[in-house]
Structure 1
Amino acid sequence: MEQPIIETHGLTKYYGSLKAVDNLHLSIGKGEIFGLLGPNGAGKSTTILMLLGLTEPTSGEARICGLNPSREPIPVKRKVGYMPDNVGFYNELTALENLLYIGRLNGIPEQQVKSLAREMLVEVGLETSMHKKTGTFSRGMKQRLGLADVLIKQPEVIILDEPTLGIDPAGVRDFLELIRQLNQRQGLTILLSSHHLHQVQEVCNRVGIFVGGYLLAEGNIETLAANLFNTAPHVVEIMLQTAPAQAAVPKQDILALPAVRNVTVRDNVVEIAGGQDITPDLVRFFVSKGFDITGVQKKNYGLNEIYHRYFENNLKEDVSNEKSTGLFQRSFFSRFKKR
């Protein structure tokens, strides 16, 4: 099995008495786009700082590209490109001039730096704006320039912390597509931190769900959904022509069908969750009962449902564990403080 390019073992970080990251075990393979997903203050940025060697873990260990960032921070910085949520540039310089400056700081030889800077600006779609002053750039253009800044040293891994913050929806779509293309063309390993669920779902191969410093779960969408909704993984929505009275829907008869676990009626939609796909049986059942069906849709669980269910389950466990000790209120509010 190939060695993970990013891995952590029991990584933990305290700020005083506040535990920002709690016993993190994580493994990310070469060429993956992995999303760290969680609300603000969940511990994502603290994790990134430890991976970069910018803050010391209280306990545990991280390795990135086979290096320990706490002991070998400079070699790690040579192999890893990092883009924070707010990238700063010299506004009076052009995009090309800013990138040349960054390239020289990274030790790129003078005979290579100009051609490489131009190549990176083309790569991120700024070829027509390379001679414009950065002070005139939109937020989205600055993020693209930030990506060129990261790429110019030709890293093996790039870490993006809330990269789409403050970008309009069209710019977000373009930026995420750029990330996907870079991953495919260059085989880059990408760690993306975000609290925007749909953006993470759109671009990441796997996600880790972070809440209150804990990694609650990690995997691809299908695996997370299967683990979380294993008692009723198949959901079918039956759309009826008219909204029936609640009493008119024979819920008990539907529940008697094989593998059906739950029946919910909302206006003219009947949602049936079960342990296996019995869509043909359901359609025949409703027709036999005299209902006019206008549509049938199988529901796929997205990251939104997965995230909120994990969050809900975790919170319920905390309530039951902490109410008896009087710690619930303090614990609940502390997990949302800025890490």
Structure 2
Amino acid sequence: MSLLGNPSVLFLDEPTTGLDPEGTRELMELVRALSVEEHRTILISSHQLYQVQQVCDRVGTFVKGKLIACGPIGELGRQLEENCPQSAEVMASPAGEELIGLLRGLDGVTEVEKGRDALIVRSERDIRPAIAKAAVDGGFRLEHLRKLGGDLDEIYIRYFEKAGESNGSDDALKRGRKRFGRRGA
């Protein structure tokens, strides 16, 4: 493959806009190949965070035109987790009020809510080991347990909310929370 002028740095602005799923997949494979195999630096500006997460090893998050976070995705997630509430998705059977009561009784749990197919456990810290032990010891069959919030979408939302809080009242942030059902509206 060749690029006109053989640039070492490529700038791509919303590169998948208008592409069908197959075209998007092919473009993301090309971006990955250019980065890994040809050692090119590729800067992508995009709102398609899932796609960005698939091909980028570092991200920068901008809010109101200001860079508020930059680094590897995993590191940005870990920075947000320090002294922050955690959420876990739990599926166990038999599901029901007994399981909900068991989870609510765990140290550090602040809320248990019913999701579409699973329970969402909110806590002061990561308590997944305690959830697993309590479920199994309580006679439940643990089918699924995963931490929520490690993807780039959640990282962006949290940084966006932090930026809004530090800048005082933000009408756009409030409208977004109300429109999309985010807490704190």
TM-score, structure 2 as length reference? 0.76
Range moving further from structure 2, 227-236 or 305-314: 227-236
Amino acid at match of 2:147: K
| Structure 1 residue corresponding to 2:113, chosen from 252, 265, 276 | 265
Partner SS, residue 10 of structure 2:
strand
| Structure 2 residue corresponding to 1:283, chosen from 132, 150, 157 | 132
Superposition RMSD on alpha carbons, in Å?
3.1
> Is residue 128–residue 145 contact of structure 2 (8 Å, CA) maintained in 1?
no
Following superposition, the deviation at residue 278 of structure 1 comes to: 5.1
Q: Distance in 1 between matches of 2:99 and 2:145?
A: 23
CA shift digits 1:47-92 (9 cap, x unpaired): xxxxxxxxxxxxxxxxxxxxxxxxxxxxxxxxxxxxxxxxxxxxxx
CA shift digits 1:9-48 (9 cap, x unpaired): xxxxxxxxxxxxxxxxxxxxxxxxxxxxxxxxxxxxxxxx
CA shift digits 1:68-120 (9 cap, x unpaired): xxxxxxxxxxxxxxxxxxxxxxxxxxxxxxxxxxxxxxxxxxxxxxxxxxxxx
- 1:198 paired residue number: 50
Q: Distance in 2 between matches of 1:238 and 1:247?
A: 10
2:168 matches 1:319: yes
Amino acid at match of 1:211: V
| Structure 2 residue corresponding to 1:165, chosen from 17, 21, 27 | 17
> Is residue 246–residue 265 contact of structure 1 (8 Å, CA) maintained in 2?
no
Following superposition, the deviation at residue 294 of structure 1 comes to: 3.7
CA shift digits 1:174-228 (9 cap, x unpaired): 1011011111222111111111111111111111011211111111111111111
Q: Distance in 2 between matches of 1:225 and 1:235?
A: 13
Amino acid at match of 2:165: K
> Is residue 263–residue 272 contact of structure 1 (8 Å, CA) maintained in 2?
yes
Q: Distance in 1 between matches of 2:54 and 2:133?
A: 36
- 2:97 paired residue number: 245
Following superposition, the deviation at residue 242 of structure 1 comes to: 3.9
> Which of these two proteins has the greater Rg computed from alpha carbons?
1
Following superposition, the deviation at residue 167 of structure 1 comes to: 0.6
Partner SS, residue 163 of structure 1:
coil
Following superposition, the deviation at residue 288 of structure 1 comes to: 3.6
Match runs of 1:81-96 below 5 Å: none
> Is residue 59–residue 72 contact of structure 2 (8 Å, CA) maintained in 1?
yes
Q: Which runs of 5+ in 2 are unaligned?
A: 176-185
Q: Distance in 1 between matches of 2:75 and 2:128?
A: 21
Q: What count of residue pairs does the alignment treat as equivalent?
A: 172
2:155 matches 1:303: no
Partner SS, residue 105 of structure 2:
helix
Following superposition, the deviation at residue 274 of structure 1 comes to: 5.2
Partner SS, residue 154 of structure 2:
helix
TM-score, structure 1 as length reference? 0.44
Q: Distance in 2 between matches of 1:237 and 1:329?
A: 31
> Is residue 239–residue 270 contact of structure 1 (8 Å, CA) maintained in 2?
no
